[in-house]
Structure 1
Amino acid sequence: MVSTYRRRGRRATMLKLTFLMKRRQGMSFEDFRNYYENRHAPLAASLCPNLVRYTRTYLTGWEPLARSMQLPEPGFDCITECCYDVEGSWEERKADLLPADVFRQLAADEENFLDRRANRLVMTQQEESRPETFLGNAG
């Protein structure tokens, strides 16, 4: 995903990657979160110098929007967003943002806490509504 944001009064482009992460089978949610926050996140941040925003949003519960429906649990435990202050698409930039040696280090560490076969990188396009544009707001 490429999103636009304001940086020091001018528009800039940011590459934003969204990952759906599933914990390794047999690992408790608490151990998963602890490992991710205290081991993997610091490692990833140290290996990715162009990373300007790195968030992990952990699922703490879920329910179907139509409460009468029976749905399986989501296939992930965490939504991870990685934002890079670079121009271009992931396809154009992945070789320099995630070189092979960095990928190998991260993949090796991911084996400790993730079900790597279940994880997904999703491509999205983000739109934002500002409160002043909401219906009913006088402006």
Structure 2
Amino acid sequence: MSLEEFIDYHKNIHAPLFCSIPETELYVRKYVVNHPVVTEIFPKPLYDAVVEIYFDSFEDFNTFFSSENYLTKVHPDEPNFFDTVNYIAMANKETIVKADA
């Protein structure tokens, strides 16, 4: 799959699928999909996407990712467009250093 095909699938198939389950409305506070801008001034990206999913708590995180809708509708789509073995997942605590007022 080319980068362009990956981005198209991610934005137009998987992201809407992710947003279609009721648990997204209940537990996900923010869902951001970032894709690289390929340019000569930066090295070639190591990954084709960075996804940010915001939850109010680890309990909400666990409830979302263990829900039947996620496990039966969203999760099975993931191997269709990304490498489910070679990826990085992190839990982070965001510190806003500067934000527009």
Q: Which amino acid aligns with 1:119?
A: Y
TM-score after normalising by structure 2:
0.75
Match of 2:51 in 1: 80
Higher strand share: 1
3-state SS of paired residue (2:93): coil
Q: Where in structure 1 do 4 or more consecutive aligned residues deviate above 6 Å?
A: none
Structure having the higher helix fraction is 2
- Aligned pair count reads 93
- Does the aligned pair in 1 maintain the 2:36–2:45 contact within 8 Å? no
| Structure 2 SS opposite 1:122 | coil
Q: Deviations over 1:88-136 (max 9, x none)?
A: 32xx3333122242124222111111111112211223222237xxxxx
| Structure number, greater radius of gyration | 1
List runs of 5+ in structure 1 lacking aligned partners.
1-26, 64-72, 132-139
| Residue 126 of structure 1: aligned partner | 94
Task: Give the Cα separation in 1 of the matches to 2:67 and 2:96.
Answer: 34
Counterparts of 1:41 and 1:28 in 2: how far apart (Å)?
18
Pairwise CA RMSD: 2.3
Matched, 1:30 2:4: yes
Identity %: 23
Structure 2 residues not aligned, in runs of 5+: none
Q: Which has the higher contact order (CA 8 A, sep 6+)?
A: 1
